[in-house]
Amino acid sequence: MKSYALTSRLLGLALLMVLGTPALDAQTLLLAQAPADGASAEAPRVSQRQALELVRARFPGNVVSINQVQQGGVLQYRVRMDNEGNIYTVYVNASTGAITREP
């Protein structure tokens, strides 16, 4: 069943990228399809690959690195990006897919 959910999420993301629906972004689509079965908050519902897709869809540049980190008791992916020599960091919440950018 998990592979079906992952497949449907990836298909949804691919359709979003192809159609370019302005009312939805990849993060909104991912959150709308997240399972509501009370899965453990400790287990990441967003994979590393999905986190990369979310970041690439929203921010310019090339991915330098991605790591799993704990911040304030929350599991996140720390993504380092390089945009024409400007290095910046983006965090993706591994449970919700919410993205925040480090100032």
Tens digit of each residue's pLDDT (9 = 90 or more) over 26-73 = 444 444 444 444 444 456 799 999 999 999 999 999 999 999 999 989
Q: Nearest-5° angle of CA 78, CA 9, CA 66?
A: 15
The domain containing residue 76 runs over which residues? 2-36+44-101
- The secondary structure element, H or E, covering residue 23 is none
Structural domain count of the chain: 1
pLDDT digits (tens, 9 = 90+) for 5-22: 444 455 454 444 444 433
Q: What is the CATH number of the domain that holds 61?
A: 3.10.450.40
Q: Taking 90 as the threshold, does the pLDDT of residue 90 lie above it? A: yes
Which among 55, 49, 57 is positioned nearest to 81, based on CA atoms? Answer: 55
Calculate mean pLDDT across residues 69-88: 95
pTM for the model stands at: 0.59
